[in-house]
Structures are given as C-alpha cells and as structure tokens.
Amino acid sequence: MTARLEVIVGPMFSGKTERLIAKLHRAQYARKRVRIIKPAHDTRTQGFIASRAVLPDGTTEVTDRLSAVMVRSEDDFHRIVKPFDFDVLAIDEAQFFPLDTPLRDSLGWFGRAIRELLRDKRDTNLRIIVAGLDMDFAEEPFGPVPGLLAIADSVEKLTGVCMVCGSDAGYISHRLISDEKQLVVGDAGEYQVRCRSCYPPPRKAR
C-alpha cells in the first residue's frame, strides 16, 4: 500500500458529509485510527461534522455526527498531524481553507500541506479523505478543493436534487441572499441546489 488521497465533491445537500461519515464508520469497523478535522470558519457545527437532511419546511436536521478538531490556521493543522497517530485523516468543508493572497497556486497552504503529508508518508497506509464544495455560488472554483482534485487518487462527484424543478441533476449551490463575498456560511435558508437549467448565472463577473 501507499498513501492515498480521496476527494468527495458536489453542491450543498448532495450528501458529501454523509458519504464521508459512511467511509469513516467503515474505517472504524476495520479498527483504523481516525482523525477528523474541519475549518473553524464553518460556524454551523463546532467540534463535530454532521450529515443533515432537508425537511419539507426548508429547515435541516442532523442525521449523524462525529467529533472533529477545529483548525484555525496552518500552525493548527501541522500541530494536529505531527504525532501521526492516525491511519485515516478526514477533512470536511475543505473549501473554507483560504488560498494565498496574492494567489500563489491552486492549493493554498492547506492543499500544499496535504500534498506534503502524502509525500512524507508515501510508504505508509495513510488514507486522506477530503470533502468539500468544488464550486462556489458563482460557478467559480472554490478554495483549495479544485487543486486537490488534480492530485487525488480517486474522486467522487455527487449531485443533488434541484430545488426548483426536482430533477436529479443539482450541481451548484445557488445563493439566495445578496452577498458577493465568496465565503458566506449558510444553510437551507441561504442556498438552494440548482440544476444547470434552473441556475441563473451572475449578471457580471466578480
């Protein structure tokens, strides 16, 4: 075996975290040591990752959850992984890790740290599983996720159900509120899954 990177992408409400948690339960059944982290920027769930179901009234409820360590900086990340006391490293909502300003590459510090960890542990059974949005609300690449797709050993691209026409082809998280910033944390009240036909492109380039 060699160290490997798996990436799970798709719009909001496509089941990315649900898929990630299923992989982690399976790893735990196999008695693998699991470490889960997530960016502190995601204030919806502090200290855990959670799969959620959208209810008929538009709200969401947690269906499963696992404890996670919140990462606020590159130093946090290196401190957490340095002991290498895990077989599986899982990262949820990876799009919230920022790229460099000014832009240096498509990976940012987080993507470069993942690549370096894979290089350092290439002769081990390390398994890294990253889940996140590959596109933002304006159909633009989102954070380090597209760069990680390029170096991944395997990729799962999920879709959701379009919340307008009901087709099983939802591919983007359409923002319902007026805010041009890329990093806006929200839930079912702020975003909808849309198919390509029902998605209104931005009126002007950002």
Residues with a known catalytic role: 93
Q: How far apart are CA 133 and CA 141, in angstroms?
A: 9
Structural Rg of the chain based on CA atoms: 17
Is the separation of the CB atoms in 136 and 182 below 8 Å? yes
Q: Is 25 left (phi over 0), alpha (psi -120 to 50) or beta?
A: alpha
Is the separation of the CB atoms in 96 and 39 below 8 Å? yes
Name, in order, each residue with C-beta under 8 angstroms of 29's C-beta and a sequence gap of 6 or more.
none
